[in-house]
Amino acid sequence: MIQTDGLKQSVLEAGEGPLVLLIHGFPELAISWAAQIQALAAAGYRAVAPDMRGYGQTVSPERTEDYGVLSLVGDMVDLVRALGEETCVVVGHDFGAPVAWHCALTRPDMFRAVVGLSVPFQPRNAGGPPIAAMKAISERFKLGDLYIVTFQSIVAHSDFDLDPEAALRKCFWAYDGATSGKDRSTGFLPPGVPILQTISDAARRPPWMSADHFQPYVDAFTAGGFKRPFDWYRNIDRNWRDTAFLQGKTIDQPSLFIVGEKDPVRHYAGRHEAAQGDWLTDLRGQVLIDGAGHWIQQERADAVNATLIDFLRAVG
């Protein structure tokens, strides 16, 4: 537990050397980076993964508006300082990737390089808030409701809270590369149908997730619930309003993007992959891992570790 300016943050840490900060997404915890922490420590880096605001053992506020991206970036700035460091390389997965991209955008002096996993950099659209645009795209192409839109409801997390074990098992299974294509989620839902109801009750833990690895997730979300993790999504339009000052800004530090070939996120965010080079001016690579799904650092730990270490050694 580390006391920062804003929060008491729970972290996993190993190793000595240049700092690498690992930011998880939904519905994850610091333990999603366990394999990377071990590999990076062995390679001569100080690897630190926090339970992010709203997750796990980190002591977090209750108000929905306290989960905007600038607050999440501020937590990471505070954490770097509390660790006694001045700079680091920041790595983010899932919703942690937009946090990492915004760390790099807002504090290039501190975050000297950035890696995004699964979710590409998406520049701010001057045309208006994102949720309305997501709804319009879904309606235009008759795709159904994107789950991100359904998460805006203040009670959307209630289905998850009813049975955290089943909710987590379904999420990991439906976005995993080993799950059959017909059972893998696209992220788009029949109108009015909650996401958990679109995933088979026969969902099981992915092959890479042991019972011992799964149980801490179940324990954490049973204790803390899903309301605060959902609040990250409920701030998406607020994030758009709060980041007008970043309109048109590029990320000029060394950057890297890693994605699984079968990642369902590519159904709705994949179009941004091709344009990343316009916004990441020192993009060192876009790595596609064959057959991998969304939980890429856990599904394909060896491949992700090797790619990260090569990038870290290249940027010094």
CA Rg value for the chain = 18
Under the banding of pLDDT at 50, 70 and 90, the label for residue 6 is confident
Q: Does residue 141 have a pLDDT over 90?
A: no
8 A C-beta contact, residue 32 and residue 207: no
Average pLDDT over residues 31-49: 98
Range in 12-26, 82-96, 129-143 with the lowest mean pLDDT: 129-143
Question: Which domains does the chain show, CATH number per domain?
Answer: 2-125+245-315 (3.40.50.1820), 130-234 (no CATH)
What is the bridge-based pairing of β-strands 188-189 and 145-146? Answer: antiparallel
Q: What phi and psi values does residue 135 have, to the nearest 5 degrees?
A: -60, -45
Residue 250: DSSP 8-state: P
- Residue 281: its H or E element: strand 280-289
SS3 for 57? Answer: coil
Tell me the per-residue pLDDT of 213-266, one tens digit each, with 9 for 90 and over: 999 999 999 999 999 999 999 999 999 999 999 999 999 999 999 999 999 999
Under the banding of pLDDT at 50, 70 and 90, the label for residue 166 is very high
Q: Does residue 89 have a pLDDT over 90?
A: yes
What is the token pair recorded at 73?
């970036």
Measured CA to CA, the distance from residue 40 to residue 38 in angstroms comes to 6
User: CA 188 → CA 62, 178, 181, 232, 264, distances in Å?
Assistant: 29, 20, 14, 19, 10
Tell me the per-residue pLDDT of 186-217, one tens digit each, with 9 for 90 and over: 999 999 999 999 999 999 999 999 999 999 99
From 24, 51, 75, 94, the catalytic residue = 94
Query: Is omega for the bond preceding 190 within 30 degrees of 0, making it cis?
Result: no
Residue 302: DSSP 8-state: H
From 93, 102, 157, 294, the catalytic residue = 294
pLDDT at 70: 98
Q: Is there a catalytic annotation at residue 102?
A: no
Q: Is there a catalytic annotation at residue 294?
A: yes
Which residues, other chains included, contact 182 with Cβ-Cβ below 8 Å and sequence gap of 6+? none
